[in-house]
Amino acid sequence: MEIYFIDVEGGQATLVKSPEGESILFDTGWPGFENRDANRIAAAAQKAGISKIDYLVITHFHTDHVGGLTQLAAKMPIANLVDHGKTVESNANADKLYASYEALTSKAKRITVKPGDKLPVKGFQVEVLAAHGAGTKRAGKANPLCAGVQKKEADPTDNAQSVGMLITYGKFRFLDLGDLTWNKELDLVCPENRIGKVNLYLTTHHGTDSSGPAALVHAIAPTVAVMNNGEKKGGSPAAWKVIRQSPGLKDLWQLHYSAAGGTESNTDEKLIANLKGEDPGNHISVSAQSNGKFTVTNARTGLSKSY
């Protein structure tokens, strides 16, 4: 199983290739910038040997996640579009983004998912844990980390509607919750941890402190976390600290140096794909085996670490 965390400057574009060659792409990054993000996604797909996207999961309808869709669709075929349903936001930009998405549903099959649904991808299991404000009801174990945890004000934006998925390949488990926010994340792990532990965690909401409560991050106890931040977006010190303190964490990799993090709240430079002031679009890739072992590689340096 291969995973490519593509640098789209603080948005999301995560490409997953199954052992049988099927593909899932989570989000499409930003529009504009002379097709920058669509080009980076297409380049990662070519590197992975992928000629089409079998399942494009739009976690939610914000510009940094769905904005690059039209540009990407002009570059490569998309077979299935996966979403949480209509955006809950109503303004000119939200309406425009959603309309552009709907325009492409005439060319691809649309699948609107709910918690508990699974995508029929060959080679591994793809389970929906969150969608359209609802969370999974799967059985879990009592989570002592929930004691005393405070909820935040309800989030009325489409972030809280994000599609969150767990990919399981044998003993290897990868979690991507999109931009799901604090209260909705707590619903997944409190009072019971309905996710379990994972090997690899894409930090929720680009590593901002409106997401990523310790009750979730420490309960899932990832071996490795990858932060899809931009230099000036995400990577907040509070969220970074929660992740670094997670029990069992071996390493935190970052797509970008975080300006907000400064010298104290950035990971080891060798684990950062794009350094301060740089914008070359370096990615972070993962190669995973069904026995739970996996290797993470920084495209900037060629450094690989196995876990």
In 3D, which of 130, 236, 132 has the Cα closest to residue 189?
130
- Domain ranges, residue 199: 2-301
Phi, psi (degrees; rounded to nearest 5) at 15: -105, 130
pLDDT band at residue 278, thresholds of 50, 70 and 90?
Answer: confident
200 DSSP 8-state letter: E
* Tens-place pLDDT, residues 180-189: 999 999 999 9
Could you read off the pLDDT of 40-74 as tens digits, one per residue?
A: 999 999 999 999 999 999 999 999 999 999 999 99
Residues 226 and 4 sit within 8 Å (Cβ to Cβ): no
pLDDT of residue 243: 98
Tens-place pLDDT, residues 175-234 = 999 999 999 999 999 999 999 999 999 999 999 999 999 999 999 999 999 999 999 999
For residue range 101-142, list pLDDT tens digits in order: 999 998 999 999 999 999 999 999 999 999 999 999 999 999
Sequence letter at residue 293 = K
* Phi then psi dihedrals of residue 190, to 5 deg: -130, 135
- CA pair distance 87, 101, nearest whole angstrom: 11
Q: Is residue 25 part of a domain?
A: yes
3-class DSSP assignment, residue 116: coil
Residue 306 placed within a domain: no
What's the pLDDT at 178? 98
Domain at 220, CATH number: 3.60.15.10
Report DSSP letters for 52-95, one per residue. SEEEEE--S--HHHHTTHHHHHTTS-EEEEEESSS-S--SHHHH
Task: Note whether residue 233 is domain-resident.
Answer: yes
> 222 preceded by cis ω (within 30°)?
no
Mean pLDDT of 148-177: 97
Residue 249 has pLDDT above 90, yes or no: yes
Report phi then psi at 226, rounded to 5.
-120, 130
Amino acid at 187: D
Question: Is position 282 within any domain?
Answer: yes
7-32 per-position pLDDT tens digit: 999 999 999 999 999 999 999 999 99
Beta bridge pairs of residue 286:
3, 296
With 90 as the cut, is the pLDDT of residue 266 above it? yes
- Work out the average pLDDT over 134-156: 96
Note the pLDDT of residue 279. Answer: 85
pLDDT at 59: 98
DSSP 8-class letter at 51: S
Q: What's the predicted TM-score (pTM) here?
A: 0.98
Tokens of 194: 């309905």
83 CB contacts (<8 Å, ≥6 apart)?
57, 58, 61, 101, 110, 111, 112, 113, 163
Structural domains of the chain, count: 1
Say if 307 falls within a structural domain: no
Give the model confidence (pLDDT) of 285-306 as tens digits: 999 999 999 999 999 999 999 9
Identify whether 79 is part of a domain: yes
